[in-house]
């Protein structure tokens, strides 16, 4: 039965029975099972990857469904649970395990250790660096991907000692980078980027073709153009293990606040991370953060022992920024508006 299932790919001389055995032995971890991770998981399962671990703490939402067609916002289960059911129906030969929680410094080593390959399907700058740093320390190849608007990026980092990694592209997490909830995304664009990511993973595992190792593959949906940019080693600082004592973690739960308005009382200043286009008129008393260097502006303007509130569209980017500020200036009292402007019913 398995031979019949994979007949249309094993007939390819570049794959054959030996290639199929390589896929069957592979253990792939997919972190983030949204618009990128779920299609990539489906095609990897269909191809016969031996074991897939799905890591995502979110539940499906109605606003996800235009680009995440495997989910039902009204059905039971988290994203990883619903996706696992689909993959099991698609290919019962694949061993699928689910982790219905976010990847954190506390669980990264346990969840990633032993993987043949990791796929990054997240849309949070801080989490992307956590995944990359963990893969560097564990020596696990990583297929990075990101998508928003009408395009996206894919890169494959082998994470060999002294090799190129995500920090050579982005030296540090940039909280000003918008997510899909803020910038929007064309569903076909994110789907195509997901398949480019899955294709890079398959070619790498099979040892065929020319996957984008140490290259940034860009895709633009409006004209279907692709470009490959060769990456250079530019980051030479030591990368601490994200789970070590040398890389302290800020309590993210303590950095969020729920409010019914963008300008609740009790704060010395409120900062918006939204662009002029997204928020043409600021509420009274709100300051707009520089899109190019929001962290630098906050560190210059915020004073110790005063209280500050940050907000963005969905609450994700402002939470990342609040965590960065607390690491740099622990005496500053800064919190993120949970749910952003969506959470207060303004989106």
Q: How far is CA 264 from CA 267, 286, 302, 344, in A?
A: 7, 11, 18, 11
Q: What does the pLDDT read at residue 77?
A: 87
How many angstroms separate the CA atoms of 291 and 126, rounded? Answer: 17
**Lowest-pLDDT choice from 4-8, 162-166, 194-198, 320-324:** 320-324
Average of pLDDT values for 79-90?
94
Average of pLDDT values for 152-157?
96
Both structure tokens of 330: 């622990």
- The domains located in the chain, with CATH, are 2-230 (3.40.50.720), 252-343 (3.40.250.10)
**In the structure, what pLDDT confidence band is assigned to residue 251 with cuts at 50, 70 and 90?**
low
* 33 catalytic residue (yes or no): no
Scan for tokens 């696992």, then name that residue. 84
Both structure tokens of 229: 């940019």
Both structure tokens of 217: 């593959």
Of 180 and 134, the structure prediction assigns the larger pLDDT to 134
pLDDT over threshold 80, residue 2: no
Contacts for 175 with CB less than 8 Å, ≥ 6 apart: 125, 126, 273, 294, 295, 317, 318, 320, 321, 324
Question: What are the backbone dihedrals phi and psi of residue 287, each rounded to the nearest 5 degrees, phi first?
Answer: -105, 140
How many angstroms separate the CA atoms of 195 and 203, rounded? Answer: 12
Given the residues 33, 135, 180, 298, the one annotated as active site: 180
Per-residue pLDDT tens digits for 39-81:
999 999 999 999 999 999 988 888 878 887 888 788 888 999 9
Per-residue pLDDT tens digits for 90-102:
999 999 999 999 9
How many angstroms separate the CA atoms of 233 and 50, rounded? Answer: 33
Give the chain's end-to-end CA distance (angstroms, integer). Answer: 50
pLDDT over threshold 90, residue 327: no
pLDDT over threshold 70, residue 88: yes
Residues counted in the chain: 347
Q: What does the pLDDT read at residue 319?
A: 86
Predicted TM-score (pTM) of the model is 0.75
How many angstroms separate the CA atoms of 129 and 249, rounded? Answer: 13
Instruction: Count each helix (H run) and each strand (E run) in the chain, helices first.
Output: 12, 13
Q: What does the pLDDT read at residue 75?
A: 84
Using the 8-state DSSP alphabet, how is residue 236 labeled?
Answer: -
Per DSSP, the three-state class of 309 is strand
Average of pLDDT values for 318-337?
87
């Amino acid at each position: 039965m398995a031979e019949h299932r994979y007949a249309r790919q094993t007939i390819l001389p570049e794959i054959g029975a030996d290639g199929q055995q390589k896929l069957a032995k592979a253990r792939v971890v997919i972190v983030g099972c949204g618009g990128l991770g779920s299609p990539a998981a489906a095609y990897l399962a269909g191809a016969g990857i031996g074991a897939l671990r799905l890591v995502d703490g979110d539940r499906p939402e109605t606003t996800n469904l235009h680009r995440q067609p495997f989910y039902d916002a009204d059905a039971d289960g988290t994203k990883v649970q619903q996706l696992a059911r689909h993959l099991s129906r698609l290919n019962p030969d694949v061993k699928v395990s689910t982790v219905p929680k976010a990847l954190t410094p506390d669980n990264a080593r346990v969840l990633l250790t032993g993987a043949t390959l990791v796929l990054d399907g997240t849309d949070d700058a801080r989490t992307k660096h956590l995944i990359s740093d963990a893969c560097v320390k564990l020596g696990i190849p990583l297929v990075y991907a990101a998508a928003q608007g009408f395009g996206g990026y894919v890169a494959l980092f082998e994470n060999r000692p002294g090799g190129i990694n995500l920090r050579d592209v982005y030296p540090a997490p940039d909280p000003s980078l918008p997510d899909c909830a803020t910038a929007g995304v064309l569903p076909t664009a994110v789907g195509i980027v997901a398949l480019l990511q899955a294709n890079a993973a398959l070619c790498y595992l099979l040892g065929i073709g020319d996957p984008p190792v140490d290259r940034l593959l860009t895709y633009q949906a409006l004209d279907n153009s692709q470009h490959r940019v060769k990456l250079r080693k530019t980051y030479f600082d030591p990368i601490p293990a994200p789970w070590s004592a040398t890389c302290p973690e800020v309590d993210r739960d303590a950095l969020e606040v729920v409010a019914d308005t963008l300008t609740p009382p009790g704060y010395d200043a409120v900062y918006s991370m939204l662009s002029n286009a997204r928020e043409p008129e600021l509420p009274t008393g709100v300051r707009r953060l520089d899109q190019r260097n929001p962290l630098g502006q906050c560190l210059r303007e915020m004073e110790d022992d005063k209280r500050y509130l940050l907000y963005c569209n969905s609450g994700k980017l402002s939470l990342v920024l609040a965590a960065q500020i607390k690491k740099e200036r622990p005496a500053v009292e800064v919190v993120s508006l949970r749910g952003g402007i969506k959470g207060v019913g303004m989106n």
